Structures are given as C-alpha cells and as structure tokens.
Amino acid sequence: MSRSQKPGRTVPVDERFRVRDRFIEAGKGGLENKISGPAHGGTVAERRLRSENEQLKLALAEQMVQLRLWRKEAEHIEDVPSVTSKP
C-alpha cells in the first residue's frame, strides 16, 4: 500500500462522480436563483436586464422630480429679493 492510500478510506469512483454532479447541479441552481424574477422570468441575462431597467427608471424619475422643482423655483425667482436689488 502506498503512502497516499489510507486503509478503509477508499471511495468508489462512481460515488465521486455522483457527489461531483450533485455539487455542480446545486451550483447551477444557485446561480439561476441569484437574480430573482417572476416564475416565467426568462434567462438570467433577461432578469439582469429587467433589474437594470427598473434601476434606470427609478433614476430617471428622481431626475424628473428635481427638474420640476428647479422649474418651479425658476418661476418664482423674481419674487425673491436679492442683495443687489436693494436701493
């Protein structure tokens, strides 16, 4: 018996392949579920794009609110006295 072999510790080759296959399948399942989406959500790439789309919509909505506030302030700028307008 060589040094690398230990008595009573041998695992059949087919068992090693079964363990490896279960490990790989579990990893694939974990990757598929990493980006959640509806049950018919499509591929991981589609779900990633959908998520990015939602983030971009939110950013656009925030910018629209800021623009509306800026426009409202600009409408009333003449009503606010400035330091240079005093006699």
Distance CA 45, CA 52 (A): 10
Distance CA 22, CA 13 (A): 14
Contact, 37 vs 47, CB < 8 A? yes
Question: What tens-digit pLDDT sequence spans the chain (87 residues)?
Answer: 455 555 666 778 888 888 888 888 888 777 666 655 555 567 888 888 999 999 999 999 999 999 999 998 888 877 777 777 555
Q: What is the pTM of this model?
A: 0.43
CA distances from 67 to 29, 54, 59, 62 (A): 44, 20, 12, 9
